[in-house]
Structure 1
């Protein structure tokens, strides 16, 4: 996986505000680019964290941004999974009760 990151440290409240974005990423296998949802999710938000003056992690800032990026990506992933399951049915599971037997 190749990632291009943009990192910014800003002095804030006696510590640091770290902001890191991933505007470009790609996954390759045997020299060929492979489509992945990871790149979509990473490009949708900027990771922000508060650091103490000595660089120790304190807390994430706006963690809901990452959750929202996943929410926006996940419906597309679900549609692909549903299409994939419907195109490759598993007949041995049909007609079985809740116990699966």
Structure 2
């Protein structure tokens, strides 16, 4: 398990344990984190699981692939450096402590 902290747009932080091998999106969905809609169920076919990764974690995550980069074009106010789709972030032991911030809305 890895502890992942989801910070709402309003600033409320919720930390949950997510199984290694799951995605950060599944961790949000399975723990009732509001603000991550995940309309496509994790198929990287929408941008409704968009988050801003905390700056200290940017270099610790795998690089974005072309599919994720393309889908982020549809996200609400994407940030070239900080924006990620949580369906593309597999939880590993090394991600214990990851902090992600939710956008104002998902589109």
What TM-score range do you get, normalising by the shorter chain? under 0.3
Q: How does the TM-score come out when normalised to structure 1? A: 0.24
Higher helix share: 1
Structure possessing the higher radius of gyration over alpha carbons = 1
Higher strand share: 1
> Of the two structures, which has the highest relative contact order with CA contacts closer than 8 Å and spacing of 6 or more?
2
